[in-house]
Amino acid sequence: MKSAKSGAQFHEDKDTHQDEHEDEHRHGDEHAPVPLRDQIEDLVDWVAEIAADTNLSEADWIPLHEKSESVSANLKANRGDLTEEQLRELESLCQLIDDTIPKIPEQLPDLRTPTS
């Protein structure tokens, strides 16, 4: 995150798979650097979706959704180098993710009725 604050760039290997969003940043130049900030914004945007794909309870998923939406909105509203406040928000989101991971059940409960 501190690298993103200083405007560091993320360089992809030319053989690495490129998704549509990365292609948008390159504007046709497959070797152009993707700003690290843009990568962070993408990851923040994916948090709620990835959490929703787990079997977290709704009560555990909602805080991740709300926090990621808040951080995402702040990042998009204030472009440029990351501010100290944005870094704190990102770290808080990371901590929430770390705190939530142990709450993910290993598997869904078996809802089948027992057969005799």
Handedness of CA 54, 76, 32, 6 (dihedral sign): negative
Q: What is the dihedral of CA 83, 32, 18, 37, to 10 degrees?
A: 0
pLDDT at 33: 77
User: How many Å apart are CA 52 and CA 55, to the nearest integer?
Assistant: 7
CB 93 within 8 A of CB 44: yes
2, pLDDT greater than 90: no
CB 31 within 8 A of CB 14: yes
pLDDT at 105: 83
Q: At 9, which helix (H) or strand (E)?
A: strand 9-10
Q: Which of 19-28, 71-80, 88-97 has the highest mean pLDDT?
A: 88-97
Report the percent of the chain where pLDDT is more than 70: 65
Residues 49-84 pLDDT 10s:
999 888 899 999 999 999 999 999 999 998 888 899
pLDDT at 6: 58
Crossing angle of helices 36-52/84-100, nearest 10°? Answer: 30
Residue with tokens 């926090």: 67
Reported as a pLDDT band with limits 50, 70 and 90, residue 97 is very high
pLDDT at 5: 54
pTM higher than the cut 0.85: no
